[in-house]
Amino acid sequence: MKFIDEYRDAGLGKKLAEHISHISKHPARLMEFCGGHTVSIMRNGLRQLLPPHIEMLSGPGCPVCVTANSDIDRMIALAQLPDVIITTFGDMIKVPGSYSNLSQARAEGADIRIVYSSQDAIKIAGENKGKSVIFIGIGFETTAPTIAATLLQAKQKNVKNFYVHCLLKLCPPVIKAVLDLGEVKLNGIIGPGHVSTITGTAPYEFIPRDYRIGFVISGFESLDILQTVSMLIEQIEKDEPAVDIAYSRGVRPEGNPMALQLMDKVFDKESADWRGIGIVPASGLKLAPEFADFDAMSAFEVKVEPVKETKGCICGEIIRGIATPHQCPLFRKVCTPENPIGPCMVSSEGSCSAYYMYGDDNG
Amino acid sequence: MCLAVPVKVIAVDGTEADVDIGGVERRVSIMLTPEVKVGDYVLLHTGYAINVIDEQRAKETLELFEEIARLDEIH
């Protein structure tokens, strides 16, 4: 397929890895922020191609993994209301909350439907006028404008039975939060590709300026990631951290202005609760007052039991980059993709799932 | 979650477009990419085209890979 296979050439990949070994003199610790990158790095065995003094850590860039238990509990409570249809991306369906998950709620009779797009949820609303259709809005900046566009259409078409349970989150504030925790000393960050397609480079300028850490935005194929590592290593060796784009076919410096404008119109920023990290100011999106009629948070009252965290699960530490799945006592033993205990094993792009599927090292 | 795939636009109709996803045709929204033209490749995410792929840049990136590979052979 065009714009995919060309960026997977194994021969060129080997050459790029040799180039990295050639230019890299100092130890370097890099974090790939995005779960999609974690999967590509594991699946393509990229760590094994790199010299051992280049360390790769996984970050908090998996929207399912960072959704707090309290928010999942609320989703399940919404699903149990009468005359409600929950629509959600498939990733969310098995994620355990404090006591249950959406899949279990469905088995117990709740009407929960997996959709590919928020537009599908509007269609379902049109076909089920007597019911309230709630879309679970999870995702980062990549997904936020698509949900904004859907909400705009819902408003224009005056759809009365469509709601969004908005749990959208923003990447730059959480990158800052992870850096401020100071638990991991990073030399470079592999920046999220499709988040940056929307945001452009401006929101990341603080990273080299305030933290002296380079930030290179990467595509998702093996050559894209190797090229990104090569650019970061060059910055590290010259001690010139900067924001740069290795994924120029998919990311423009200004991002997608139309998408940003739409997000601005439909959402306001608010603080958000991130699993493993806690409350991060201005890192979440809520519906702007003009769209309040579609807000499931205010339209439905639900009672939720006090939040309970799963014993032994270290997803929080894994999300912050201070532990790897191999350090979790549950990993592979009781926590598997068939019986996931924590969200990092549920989502296909969670670190635990990627390590389970592709990992054969101890790293 | 932030997965987006490159697909080719085969027809444009207002705020929607038909795209070819590996031989399968699908209608998608181009509300976020109103500049899209027939023949363009777009990044498709949850039913929305979120960006038009810059073909010139795509070519330059591949050329850069080749150049790095060649340079290192000289070392």
Chain B hits for A64, CB-CB cut-off 8 Å, are 1
**CA B38/CA B4 separation, integer angstroms:** 19
CA A128 to chain centroid: 31
What is the arithmetic mean of pLDDT over A206-222?
97
What is the arithmetic mean of pLDDT over A65-72?
94
CA A263 to chain centroid: 17
Instruction: Express each pLDDT in A93-122 by its tens digit.
Output: 989 999 999 999 999 999 999 999 999 999
Please judge whether A139 and B1 are an interchain contact, meaning their C-beta atoms are less than 8 angstroms apart. yes
Nearest CB among A119, A248, A250 relative to B29 is that of A119
Please judge whether B46 and A116 are an interchain contact, meaning their C-beta atoms are less than 8 angstroms apart. yes
Question: Domain count of chain B?
Answer: 1
Nearest CB among A1, A230, A250 relative to B51 is that of A250
pLDDT of residue A1: 62
- b/e map of A170-197 (b: 16 or more CB within 10 Å)? bbbbbbbbbbeeeeeebbbbbbbbbbbb
- Helix (H), strand (E) at residue A53: none
Read off the CATH number of the domain in which B19 is found. 2.30.30.140
Instruction: Please check the confidence at residue A361 and state whether its pLDDT lies above 80.
Output: no
Instruction: Name the pLDDT band for A193 (thresholds 50, 70, 90).
Output: very high
pLDDT of residue B73: 67
Preferred mutation among B1, B5, B29 to probe A, highest tally of A CBs within 10 A:
B1
Predicted TM-score (pTM) of the model is 0.95
pLDDT of residue A15: 93
Walk me through the domains of chain A, giving residue ranges and CATH numbers: 66-170+257-299 (3.40.50.11740)
CA A98 to chain centroid: 21
Sign of CA dihedral A189, A184, A349, A123: negative
Q: CB–CB of A148/A263 below 8 Å?
A: yes
Q: Which domain holds residue B67?
A: 5-74
Nearest CB among B46, B50, B68 relative to A117 is that of B46
End-to-end CA distance of chain A: 32
Matching residue, tokens 């800052």: A176
Instruction: Express each pLDDT in A264-306 by its tens digit.
Output: 999 999 999 999 999 999 999 999 999 999 999 999 999 898 9
Please judge whether A16 and B50 are an interchain contact, meaning their C-beta atoms are less than 8 angstroms apart. no
Residue type, A131: K
ipTM above 0.85 for this complex = yes
Preferred mutation among A34, A136, A142 to probe B, highest tally of B CBs within 10 A:
A142
Please judge whether B50 and A18 are an interchain contact, meaning their C-beta atoms are less than 8 angstroms apart. no
